[in-house]
Structure 1
């Protein structure tokens, strides 16, 4: 056992014993005080590691069990943990440190019962958010071949078959949000759908599934793109019935940073699994370019960061937001590394990445890394009703160390470290 690992385990025991995690989860900054044992022996997170590993260790420090990621109070099948664990898979591949694999594996152990049922998951809700954590199970099944993971994966794949759709074939975001397509849903569902198809589907069924995935992006480009700015609106209501929907277009009123971030990550992650000879690859790569061109136009020239509401940087209450900034950086640097974008786009990605480290990252005395100014959550409709107004977006809770920011930051760091 490495010295670092033993320190981490001592600290994990201390935090679980004292109940400090629950207290820290209720604070806004979530900075965790070092235990007595740790402070005597040095830093919890060594500062000589790469940023990817430093942030992963910091997340493991804040959330000693992987199901706790993003401040979960009890084991629940939800999407944010999977983003950090997706990044952890790559950190493990780079370092070979078993504690990272164990952290990923514990998520499956805790959330999937021996008979393959998933804790807290309800298929009949047809919530596309709940497909994202299936990516963790695809990884674990490849590694461990546990029958329970296969059964759980098959259940999640069944959801895709029953997911309600618009007339054109776009997936509704949730059954409780009829006729609505949200940018978020492309990230939540499409990388899983594509990866599952690659691993388990063959022949005409695979071709049909890949075509379906590409059509989701084609439909979004057609229905949610603003041709003037090149940005995409957060959501579209085909029925035009929602109070937030424009009565002529059905579009929501604003360009929310993270919604665009979800869309960018969806595109680059889907291409990891879409066959090299599929004709839809060219379309998605063209969408990545137009997406990146639009995003760069709204990048702050001084800080390199992006705002919560992308096109209104000077409006009252707007702020440079961490999750969207990390997602844009990841989308662009991964696209450069993969050859989807020319190398010239690396400059904008690097400016954004440097801005995150300079203005949004703080490091505690114990070495724990914090990502600040994360929008905790934003959506449309529901109860209480979210109207998609500018005032709505800038007044949602801001917090530190949201998994929707720390995960993309680790992923972006890994791309820069290649």
Structure 2
């Protein structure tokens, strides 16, 4: 019996006895929803809720703020709530939002004038809550995020700057941070004219960061070509950071949830997604099924297999196959990646809590201290357990694998 099969579906989150499964012949899809054991999506969601408690809630005496990382986790919980129908997940999300959102829709700690695209990401939580409750405070708060996009600084061709403090720059990360919210808002509030702009964000980034030699995408692009990390001719940063490409991939598949089927640029977006998928497949580690921190340099000293990027790729590929954007053959890539995560990056603590290991804590370009985008920079970033940028995508990836299980349970 493999380590993978012994770990996949054993015990509830709070259980203290680790069960050993005899399921050597099962695929990741089959194991993901084994009928008599708790799915990994639920186990990780409950583990993180237990670990974090009410620490996400706004408190004047703490340094909590309206940040994208928390929203990544809340969106993952939303998927678990939709999959299970269990109210406790919705209540947890709502408690987080209610601690920040004032009756008039003002968002505590949010500063629109910072023009940080990351701060738009939590707006997706507000749209879900408005749709579920019809409480106007969520609509008004989401309108603040939309106002930011309406006035956000842009490159000359119209791409959103990553942040006001990073002028003239587009990063792959920014597509996930801004575009899915923008698309959902446009669909919810009948703004069809916005979809050209949304498509262009994805297209502009692809044009400026795609490398035809590797089939991968550079982390960022500086239109001004003034940053020390930027190539003086192309403006591109020098390396292919796994999580940046992961953000881009999941941003695209999530945008497509709301993008009109008859929009003339929809097929161009799907074509870009297919390009991303080919690159991801080509750089999957053959032995483990995972992906490296610096994607194209797997054998180089100091590089490491990274959990958040690996989880994002599994989620993006599995969801894209389920929705018909990618050929069914990519499901094998997702399954191999999911197996690799469970075999190599998941630990179950003695008390039953699930831990995700080897998550890059943070990486970026420029700033203070200055981040030069070099190979040495990316491999020197802190590596931690249970960072939300890994936990959230792992839950999402698990939900997708569970949806693919032909067990007869509702999957939509």
Pick aligned residue for 1:358 from 328, 343, 350:
343
The answer (yes or no) to whether the contact 1:335–1:341 under 8 Å persists in 2 is yes
Closer, same or farther: CA 297–123 of 1 in aligned 2, 3 Å? same
Pairwise CA distance, 1:115: 2.2
Matched, 1:310 2:295: yes
Pick aligned residue for 2:139 from 150, 155, 165:
150
Tell me the residue number matched to 2:156.
Answer: 167
Matched, 1:327 2:289: no
Structure 2, unpaired ranges of 5+: 1-12, 20-35, 404-412
Tell me the residue number matched to 2:189.
Answer: 200
More helix by share: 1
Tell me the residue number matched to 1:183.
Answer: 172
The answer (yes or no) to whether the contact 1:66–1:81 under 8 Å persists in 2 is no
Tell me the residue number matched to 1:111.
Answer: 100
Give the secondary structure class of the aligned counterpart of 2:216: coil
The answer (yes or no) to whether the contact 2:57–2:99 under 8 Å persists in 1 is no
Closer, same or farther: CA 93–141 of 1 in aligned 2, 3 Å? same
Matched, 1:390 2:375: yes
Normalising by structure 1, report the TM-score.
Answer: 0.86
Q: Distance in 1 between matches of 2:396 and 2:264?
A: 27
The answer (yes or no) to whether the contact 1:137–1:149 under 8 Å persists in 2 is yes
Tell me the residue number matched to 2:252.
Answer: 267
Q: Distance in 2 between matches of 1:293 and 1:282?
A: 17
Pick aligned residue for 1:63 from 52, 56, 69:
52
Matched, 1:139 2:124: no
Matched, 1:219 2:204: yes
Pick aligned residue for 1:81 from 40, 45, 70:
70
Closer, same or farther: CA 49–88 of 1 in aligned 2, 3 Å? same
Tell me the residue number matched to 2:394.
Answer: 409
Q: Distance in 2 between matches of 1:88 and 1:66?
A: 16
Pick aligned residue for 1:97 from 79, 86, 97:
86
| RMSD, matched Cα | 2.0
Tell me the residue number matched to 1:6.
Answer: none
Pairwise CA distance, 1:75: 2.8
Q: Distance in 1 between matches of 2:144 and 2:356?
A: 35
Give the secondary structure class of the aligned counterpart of 2:330: helix
Closer, same or farther: CA 355–148 of 1 in aligned 2, 3 Å? same
Normalising by structure 2, report the TM-score.
Answer: 0.88
Structure 1, unpaired ranges of 5+: 1-38
The answer (yes or no) to whether the contact 2:57–2:100 under 8 Å persists in 1 is no
The answer (yes or no) to whether the contact 1:138–1:153 under 8 Å persists in 2 is yes
Pairwise CA distance, 1:153: 0.9
Give the secondary structure class of the aligned counterpart of 1:370: strand
Pairwise CA distance, 1:66: 6.4
Pairwise CA distance, 1:358: 0.2
Which region of structure 1 is more displaced relative to structure 2, 339-348 or 106-115? 106-115
